[in-house]
Each structure stands twice: as structure tokens, then as C-alpha cells.
Amino acid sequence: MKSILQKLKLNFTSPFWVTVIPFGWLLLFFLIPFLIVLKISLSDLKFGLPPYAPLIEWTSEGLLIIKINLTNYTFIGTDSLYLFAYLDSLAIALLGTIGCLCIGYPMAYGIAKASPSKRTILLMLIILPFWTSFLLRVYAWIGILSPQGYINTLLINLGLISSPLSLIDNTFATVLGIIYCYLPFMILPLYAFLEKIDHTLLEAAYDLGARPFQAFIRIIWPLSRPGVIAGSLLVFIPAVGEFVIPELLGGSQTLMIGKVIWNEFFTNRTWPVAAALAVIMLVFLILPIAIFQRYQEQQVRFLDAE
């Protein structure tokens, strides 16, 4: 192995490769696909395959024609449906993120405080659900929440309610599904940061007169903030564009942007509009990513010293 690399003069630990590999990855799997989507979003609609007109065209007279079509974007602005879909998506993703944080933080803190042998088991339990198909796990919630589902059956049998509660096909079920599916993405980065916090800092705070709650607010919370941000972004960003969960649990009244994009692509076959929607969503999401980046740099500065 080594000799082959030497023959090829590839030293993957050299500064050149260390930078080229991640950048190459981003170029191949992020920038190029994004540029393709951007290109489609600026194209004209066309019947056929692919269902959009090319952006750059050589005419028979040897003219190079570049047609940039911004109407897809202006069209999105004219129909308030899209705006509401965006806002609903952001709101649902935000609720889901807050829910994940409220449930995930104590769990992550508990795992970080557990003895090393218990920690491994607890982390396994967090990751274990991933071994079942995502789709199946969301589907299972239908069985739990539907009018004939476990919860309603139980409550009716106990005589607490007479007619089933509407637990499914609404925003509540969507948020619940998001919290359930994305919880590990919140717990794992939170755990990673909480586990790194030196326990003597907490003792120092007690020693200086801080009660447990104050010590938490003034020491643990600020030091775990990068983990909170990392976890929140890992939940929030994919949740905004979530398609499966609102499709299965949200019913017709939940209109998230992922579903709208899907409809544009596959039902309406208006690829350029769908692409434009995706580009706008990405622009929305760049902001939180930039904030995350800043905090990560700050954290690196802390850790440098230790």
C-alpha cells in the first residue's frame, strides 16, 4: 500500500492533499450540484426531457445565446403560498429544534455525567433506532397517533375520552415526528461538548458560592453553547427541508417547503420553479451556518489553550 502511494508520489498527509481532499469533496458533492440546481432555476420551462430549456445555446448562425430567466423567482414572490410554506417550514423546524433541545440537553448531560461504562450503553441506545429504516420509524408513528392508534384506543378504553383525539395529520404530529427522528443529531454533538467540560469547573463554581442552578447557568450552559448551536443546526437545517415526516404525519394542512418542492418537481413538473425554491431555501439556511462557523472558531480558541 505504502509503496504504491510512494510510486504515485501521493503523500496524503502533505499540506496540499490535506486541503485538496475536503475542498474537492465539497466541490464535487456540494458546489457542482448546487450550480446545476441554480442553472435549472434560471432556465425556461420546456416540455420534454429534461423539462427545462438550456441556459447556454449555440445557434446555427454561430451566436452564443445566454438566456437567464428570472421569472421563476418573481413567480415565487407573487404567490403567497410559497411564502407561507417557507414560514411554516421555518416555524415547524424551529419548534422541532426547541423540542429536541429541551429533551436532548438533559439526556446529553446525563450521559456525559454517567460512568464511562454506562456511557457506552447509553450512547448505543441513542444510536440504535438508526438501525431501523427511517421510513418505517415514521410510519410507526401513524400506528401510534392515528384515530384507531394505540394512544386513542388506550384513552378510550380507559374511559378518559369518548371520541378519538386528532393527534395526526396536523402540525403537532409533524413537530413530534421531527423531534423523534432528529433527537440523536441533537444529543450527539451536545454530548461531545458536555463531556469535554472539566468537572472541577463546576466544583469551583460551587466553592465560590454558586448554587447548582446558578453554576449551571453561568458555567455549563455557556461552555456547552457551541454544542447547542451545532446540535440545533444539525436538526434545524434538514428539518426545514423535511419531506417524509410532513408527508406521512402532517396531512394536507401542513405545507412545508420540502413538500412544495416535491410537488413542483413531480406533480407539476415545473423543475425551474422547484429549483428556484430550493435555491431560496439554501440562501435562508446560509445564515445559521455562518453563525455556527463563527462559534466553532471561538471554541477552537478556547481549546487551544487547554
Partner 1 sequence: MKQKQRRIDLQPWQDSKAKPYIHLEGVSKEFNGVLAVDDVTLSIFQEEFFSLLGPSGCGKTTLLRMLSGFEMPTKGKIYIDGVDVTRRPAYDRPVNMMFQSYALFPHMTVEQNIAFGLKQERIPRAEIQERVKEVLKLVQMEKYGSRAPHQLSGGQKQRVALARSLVKRPKLLLLDEPLAALDKRLREQTQFELVNIQEKVGITFIMVTHDQEEAMTMSTRLGVMDHGRLRQVSTPNEVYEYPNSEYVADFIGSINKFEGLVTEVDDNHILVDSEETGSELYVGHSADAPVGSHVKVAIRPEKMMIDHAAPNQKKNVTKGIVRDIGYLGDVSIYHVELKSGKIVLATQPNLVRLAERPVTWDDTVYLFWRAENSIVLTA
- Residues near partner 1 (CB under 8 A) are 198, 200-201, 203-211, 214-215, 218-219, 222-223, 301-302, 304-306
Contact 288, 237 (CB under 8 A): yes
Q: Which is nearer to partner 1, 189 or 250 (CB)?
A: 189
Q: Which is nearer to partner 1, 57 or 207 (CB)?
A: 207
Contact 148, 137 (CB under 8 A): no
Closest distance to partner 1 from the beta carbon of 211 (Å):
5
Closest distance to partner 1 from the beta carbon of 214 (Å):
7
Closest distance to partner 1 from the beta carbon of 114 (Å):
17
Q: Which is nearer to partner 1, 168 or 223 (CB)?
A: 223
Q: Which is nearer to partner 1, 79 or 207 (CB)?
A: 207
What is the CA angle 144-234-257, rounded to 5? Answer: 70
Q: Which is nearer to partner 1, 143 or 222 (CB)?
A: 222
Q: Which is nearer to partner 1, 105 or 182 (CB)?
A: 105
Closest distance to partner 1 from the beta carbon of 212 (Å):
8
Q: Which three cell numbers stand for residue 236?
A: 434545524
Closest distance to partner 1 from the beta carbon of 227 (Å):
13
Closest distance to partner 1 from the beta carbon of 98 (Å):
23
